[in-house]
Structure 1
């Protein structure tokens, strides 16, 4: 009998303890750190819940700047022969809406370096230019140079550039444009859209 009474007293104390702990959290569901949270997480602090990213946002196709699709180096034994050429390959973009209404843009550019008749294996400079803007308001104007190494016995290689962390403010999130090109940039070619 005494054993049954101890068991009931133990369950009663456990139930009272849990009831008391439910009242230790913050009122109003403010997401604070109460005694119940401390016991559940062994004293570690929980990160606050983040707002979800928005994937269904305006994300324009990419314009290739006029003259920015290829670069050629001429010379060699024959007049007018091409020693090397760098051309744009695949280009892609990703736009993610942020909780504050801005858009986070990532742009990827693939370029291919090719040897011509007068070319030889070696290291070739590939200048990539990326601009994200709305009219005359420029949000990002980034130029990157990557090295394309063409080994002996090969005639081409591919390199990639990924630019991320480009923020478009909320007031421009539905009207900006993305331009890419090889070299120092230039004016966007009308009708030349990719992506």
Structure 2
């Protein structure tokens, strides 16, 4: 068992696929993406909602059993006509997976680590374009909220993202 402040996570996974998870007091965060994300689990199809339509409703709430913090990432692109900011929200990546030998058998264990400090930090992604990302980490349920984006800027934002991705792919190939 790994105890971490207000959270306890006990997880044991064997190679045959047995999972026992006992989270207590899991934090809840808002979760959304810049572009549509659709994934399947068994026969169920789920999707992550768009941050451009973020309204703090239940559709955007997720439980973070392997995290004690929420994160909001603000990506800023500097273009000829100005800047464009995009936002993603979710659970902070704190899950650490390791294989340990217990009672003569190898087992996979998951622990929740504390690699982040509360607050925001900016990272420059490309010195030539000046693009940057700001990661904001916070503690407490639903702490990664923000004002809704101005609807008049959504079409422009989406068009600029498409142009940016197209140009990036052009240089990669």
TM-score range, shorter chain: under 0.3
- TM-score norm. by structure 2 comes to 0.24
- TM-score norm. by structure 1 comes to 0.22
Structure having the higher Rg: 1
